[in-house]
Chains A and B, each alone.
Chain A
Amino acid sequence: MKILIVDDEGPARRRLRELLADVAADFPHTVAGEAVNGVEALALAQTLQPGLILTDMQMPRMGGLELARHLLKLDAPPAVIFVTAHDEFALAAFEVHALDYLMKPVRAERLLDSLRKAAARITPAADAAAALAEAAADARRHFSISERGRITLVPVDDVIYLRAELKYVTVHTQAREYLLEESLTRLEEEFAARFIRIHRNALVAKNRISGFEKGTAPEADAPGEKAGEAAGDAAPQWLVVLRDCAEKLPVSRRQWSAVKELARGHG
């Protein structure tokens, strides 16, 4: 089995290598590579195609839990074993959902146990995704978009707004837009600190809002808008003006008070 080691601390990676060498007789494997954070690991996972990833939890740029969530988008996701120094919040969720983890400092016997279990078990991706979402205390820092079998990471910081289309959510950045297979409601919950709902079908990055103006939104900008909610097609409504984005998005009446409060809070 090919194994990928992910940890931002050199000594921790070296220790895992040593321990893996110790158990090599009982669990034949090769260490395919090492990565120092989740972003690097995700790229390596796609080229090296390891069967198993041993990953630290807290790392710069992308931690272990977020890495595991993005890995699920791969056609054949590798098994993941988390290696953590101490993380009470995540450990509770790991126990509940039987996700595999090791405590640092790692013992060779425990490592061998986990390797065998991981090799034997296949968790359905949907279950794993739910478990991981629950274990993660923080919002992801990237959206992962699968395009033609590759995973593209879009930093959440780059996203200006998210809009629900018929089956997908479109992710709009300054450069381009992406299709994301997730529900807008879930996204709203996860990223409540960063995005605000301005309309039944749209979340906008709070720090991109530069102002509001009264106007009529072009019909095309409000797909799925029911006649009832629009309350008369010609009536002017509030539009959000966004930095780095030519498009102005309509604010629904239902969301206007929340949005207005945010705008006031910004001064």
Chain B
Amino acid sequence: MFKVLKGVGGERAFNGATISALALLSIFFVGIVVSLFTYTDWNTFMSALLSHEILFAVELSVATATVAAIISILIAIPVAYAISQTEFPGKDIVDSMLDLPIVISPIALGACLLVFFNTPVGAGIDDNIMKFVFAVPGIILAQITVISALAIRLLKSTFDSIDPRYEQVGRTLGCSKLEAFLKVTLPLAKDGLIAAGILTWARAVGEFGATVTLAGATAMKTETLPIAIFLSLASADVEKAIAVIFVLVIIAVVALIAMRKIIGRRYPI
């Protein structure tokens, strides 16, 4: 069968097949968006979009996702650097463990967090230090738990692409290890850092499973955008759900355009 596909005809058939797959998938996604447009009653859409509840959800989502993305990136920088640039026993195991949050269902992660806050240590933290369960800090913690693995993975590939000799030259020019990291490696990783920040932030905005499990779905309290969709659909308020979906789509599109602009813009190493 493959013999038939040799030569120019085979090349055309192959290109045709791959482009068809791309076209089919594009049609599928465009169809979904078009169905949203056709379903929407624009008068009720605008009033839903500007409702107090949706504006609260936008504000809460942006604020929590921003805090979660900043904290995740700050944690991910040293962790990703350690995995990328240093050798230690059991590195492969640690590396695989850090991928777990990417493959485990976010609801399961949220449930794990909820279980933790029911242990004496967790309850102690929740009662005496900071309230996480069914509270806004819980949203941030749930988002961090889900997105930090993604941040680590993205930053690890950034650090992997940086030749360690840059840092070594920095050392011979008088930098300590920390200074070489701050003055040489971080500037080289700048685009990767920004891209990782945008992607993890967008992922945090869309986080639902872990958030709803740990922080609950209380309107006007722990109501992020995905939770607003959930609550709207639960109360059969489809117009409101669509308004929120549009907000999420716009955020995603802006984030992806920003990513495209940044990646590959500067020094390819």
The finding on whether chains A and B are genuine partners in a shared complex, rather than unrelated, reads: no
Interface residues of chain A, those whose CB is within 8 Å of chain B, are none
Interface residues of chain B, those whose CB is within 8 Å of chain A, are none
